[in-house]
Amino acid sequence: MFDTVVIATDGSGSAQRAVEAALDLAGKFDATVHALYVVDEGEVESTPDDVRDVLERALATTGGRALSFVREAATSDGETDADVVTAVREGEPAEEIQAYAEDVEADLIATGTRGRHGEHAFLLGSVAEEIVRHAPMPVLSVRQLEGEANPEREAV
């Protein structure tokens, strides 16, 4: 049923739960996992020039950590539970996630409901909401459980 699963991650606590759920599902179907981190160009462009390079390096570091978390979670028991392909794209996150999922012919997109800017969203983060509304394939949105650490404080 699921041959290819795209996990959209930003390294937040909510994304970590989505990673765990998606890897479990992918393992049951022996699916290939694509872990995707998107550098939000809008966030970079709206940053003052004098700190833009620092922000870009910080986002690259965050992306590397987020993708490493997916690879490590997939091999946590010493054996690879799923094939993991990692990718970084730049652009508007929801659009890039959907385009990537279409490019790899994904059967499912998995995402957390709230990302690094989660406190500004009511039920779904704006990226998750956009994906749920417009993606042409099923979307697994995994919310952070009440009482779990704040995703911004516990980011990978």
Mean pLDDT over 69-96 rounds to 84
Query: By percentage, how much of the chain surpasses pLDDT 90?
Result: 62
Distance, CA of 61 to chain centre: 15
Which pLDDT does position 77 carry in this prediction?
Answer: 56
Write the CA distances from 123 to 93, 128, 129, integer angstroms: 18, 10, 9
Contact 92, 28 (CB under 8 A): no
Contact 104, 125 (CB under 8 A): no
* First-to-last C-alpha distance (Å) of the chain: 30
In this prediction, residue 143 has a pLDDT band, given cuts at 50, 70 and 90, of confident
Q: How many other C-beta atoms lie within 10 A of the C-beta of residue 128? A: 29
Which pLDDT does position 151 carry in this prediction?
Answer: 43
Is the model's pLDDT at 2 over the cut of 90? yes
Is the model's pLDDT at 17 over the cut of 70? yes
Query: By percentage, how much of the chain surpasses pLDDT 70?
Result: 80
Is the model's pLDDT at 124 over the cut of 60? no
- Full-model pTM: 0.83
Mean pLDDT over 17-31 rounds to 94
- At 72-81, the pLDDT tens digits run 999 875 555 4
Domains (range + CATH), the chain: 7-142 (3.40.50.620)
